[in-house]
Amino acid sequence: MAPRTFDLPASVDHLVIGAGFAGLGTAIKLAESGEDDFLVIEKDGGIGGTWRANTYPGAACDVPSQLYSFSFAPNPTWSMSFSPQPEIETYLLHVAEESGTLDRFAFGTELTDARWDESDQRWHVTTNRGEIVAKTLISGSGGLSEPRMPDVDGIENFQGEVFHSARWNHDVDLNGKRVAVIGTGASSIQIVPSIQPDVEHLDVYQRTAPYVLARNDRPYRALEKLLFKHVPGVQRAYRTGIYWARELYVPGFVWNPKLATPAKKMALANLAKGIKDPQLRAKVTPNYQIGCKRILISNTYYPALAADNVDLVTDPILKVTGSAVITTDGVERPIDVLIVATGFQTTEQPIAAHIHGRDGHSLRDVWAEHGMASYKGTTTRGFPNLFQIVGANTGLGHSSMVFMIESQLAYIVDALRTMKEQDIAVLEPHQSAQDEWNNDLQRRMRRTVWSAGGCSSWYLDAHGKNTTLWPRATFTFRRLLARFDADNYDLEPAHITQGADA
């Protein structure tokens, strides 16, 4: 799809940031609810968000697509139970086209600054393509959008090709090359088996071994696709079944990690099946509780590690030179290409530095001392009429983020309806409601596997506080956000129209 460019309007009621699942879902729900005056700005060139940005070999979803898709836009043509990235990107574009909202998306448009102006009760937003004034700012900028480069000494001096998994350089031919991959997270375990057959040699640098379950993936049969398309309820039944199966992980994550013992046994069986060499097996056996870091799924990762042209390196990286990686044991491993699969900036959302609230402070300033904290992961004291989708403590380790996004959309749409019905110009959560919400989350967090599971992960911020994950059942999140709770907000009417006699 060619990116659309058009002059930005000077003002809109609602300015939405990002064209991934969150931004697209917002556009659709705003249009459905009659809030037609909105614009979606997206710095990239099209629809898709993370599913447009992550094009590395093997990129695919590890949540089944029956669940990892909008409930209001089922897709009967998924080819596999776990969809590959190109299908998800195509799905999102198709949903956008069908929704009739595409003409409200301004691509190649990046928010550089947003400031709340008390005098006109509006957000004043600066983009690379001009200024926009908006009543509300709805951020769907994503929790996993900005790559995090590793703090490895000398990486900038490497003379070969170096790129992050989320910025894959498709111009680099890996055939016959000596390649290193740093990291063994969800991205790496998809990349490694995809490139292993082509490269001359592959070094995989592992800091912490992940738990890897078997990937029960399969192509959908023609009959299933026919049923999805023509028999009402069949696809929904699949979705519901997957939802509840996934929800079974919650007790093991948040109440008692012992409940996750069956999952641990399955992961260790998958390891035993994939790797026969006892030394390699020992190296990739995790030493913390399952679920503490994201549980990965793959049938091909362990066999790829066991291949003759792959070395799993567990000695810490000392530095990178112009042509090699050197580990702390003094071993130098020459390479042609360095692939950095070290994840994303999660606990410090990059957009937070650009959004300035009531007193001029940015979200980043406000969160600097105690970490990200919002009310219901959606609204934040000091930032009137700002809604964040996939905000603080809304992430999941086990199920579909699309479920969480839709829960937040219902809340936001109800908030906008309330504003309209009650002639409210400004809403902002009470500090007490926000504190109570976060105190409760952090109290629940203490006994979760993410806090007590004996690992460090991207779920935790620099202070060791989990500001990313939701520590309860996902249906509880949905229930708590089903209605906009005006009682927990300061609500202001519009100022008297400027210029009128007061």
Stretch of 153-161, 183-191, 195-203, 320-328 lying at the interface with ligand NAP (CB under 6 A): 183-191
DSSP string for 122-135: EEEEEETTEEEEEE
Q: Check binding of 418 to ligand NAP (CB under 6 A).
A: no
How many CB atoms within 10 Å of residue 74? Answer: 17
Q: Check binding of 205 to ligand NAP (CB under 6 A).
A: yes
CA-based nearest residue to 183, from 156, 164, 206: 206
Could you tell me where the DSSP H helices lie in 248-289?
250-254, 261-274, 278-283
Closest CB to ligand NAP among 164 and 356?
Answer: 164
> b vs e for 164-193, b when ≥16 Cβ sit within 10 Å of the residue's Cβ?
bbbebeeeeebeebbbbbbbbbbbbbbbbb
Of the candidates 207, 225, 364, 430, which one interacts with ligand NAP according to CB under 6 A? 207
CA distance readout (Å), 498 to 116, 501, 502:
17, 8, 9
Q: Check binding of 325 to ligand NAP (CB under 6 A).
A: no
CA distance readout (Å), 489 to 134, 375, 419:
20, 10, 12
Q: Check binding of 187 to ligand NAP (CB under 6 A).
A: yes
Of the candidates 45, 76, 108, 150, which one interacts with ligand NAP according to CB under 6 A? 150
For ligand NAP, which residue has the nearest CB? 185
Report in angstroms how near the CB of residue 152 gets to ligand NAP at its nearest: 5
Closest CB to ligand NAP among 54 and 101?
Answer: 54
Q: Please, which of residues 277-296 interact with ligand NAP by CB under 6 A?
A: 294
Of the candidates 26, 81, 184, 385, which one interacts with ligand NAP according to CB under 6 A? 184
Q: Residue 489: enclosing H or E segment and its boundaries? A: strand 489-492
CA distance 39 to 415: 18
Q: Check binding of 458 to ligand NAP (CB under 6 A).
A: yes
Stretch of 72-80, 147-155, 305-313, 353-361 lying at the interface with ligand NAP (CB under 6 A): 147-155
Of the candidates 20, 183, 274, 371, which one interacts with ligand NAP according to CB under 6 A? 183
Report in angstroms how near the CB of residue 332 gets to ligand NAP at its nearest: 17
Of the candidates 152, 292, 386, 405, which one interacts with ligand NAP according to CB under 6 A? 152
CA-based nearest residue to 351, from 114, 128, 104: 114
Closest CB to ligand NAP among 17 and 144?
Answer: 144
Closest CB to ligand NAP among 39 and 166?
Answer: 166
3-state secondary structure 163-193: EEHHHCCCCCCCCCCEEEEECCCCCHHHHHH
Closest CB to ligand NAP among 165 and 380?
Answer: 165
Q: Check binding of 62 to ligand NAP (CB under 6 A).
A: yes
DSSP string for 16-45: EE--SHHHHHHHHHHHHTT---EEEEESSS
292-321 footprint of ligand NAP as x/- string (CB under 6 A): --x----------------------x----
Report in angstroms how near the CB of residue 89 gets to ligand NAP at its nearest: 13
Q: Check binding of 165 to ligand NAP (CB under 6 A).
A: yes
Q: Please, which of residues 333-372 interact with ligand NAP by CB under 6 A?
A: 341-344
Closest CB to ligand NAP among 38 and 211?
Answer: 211
Closest CB to ligand NAP among 342 and 448?
Answer: 342
Closest CB to ligand NAP among 69 and 184?
Answer: 184
Q: Check binding of 151 to ligand NAP (CB under 6 A).
A: yes
Task: Look at strands 201-205 and 355-356 and give their pairing.
Answer: unpaired
Closest CB to ligand NAP among 106 and 401?
Answer: 401
Report in angstroms how near the CB of residue 177 gets to ligand NAP at its nearest: 21
Q: Check binding of 61 to ligand NAP (CB under 6 A).
A: yes
Q: Please, which of residues 87-106 interact with ligand NAP by CB under 6 A?
A: none
Ramachandran region, residue 142 (left: φ > 0; alpha: ψ -120 to 50; beta: rest): left
CA distance 144 to 294: 14
> Using CB atoms within 10 A of its CB, is residue 79 exposed (0-12), middle (13-18) or buried (19+)?
exposed
CA-based nearest residue to 192, from 336, 309, 346: 309
Which amino acid, residue 22?
Answer: A
Closest CB to ligand NAP among 150 and 154?
Answer: 150
Instruction: Give how many residues touch ligand NAP by CB under 6 A.
Output: 25
Report in angstroms how near the CB of residue 355 gets to ligand NAP at its nearest: 23
Report in angstroms how near the CB of residue 35 gets to ligand NAP at its nearest: 30
**251 within 8 A of 334, measured Cβ to Cβ:** no
CA distance 329 to 336: 21
257 three-class SS = helix
Where do contacts with ligand NAP occur on this chain (CB under 6 A)?
60-62, 144, 150-152, 165, 182-188, 205, 207-208, 294, 317, 341-344, 458
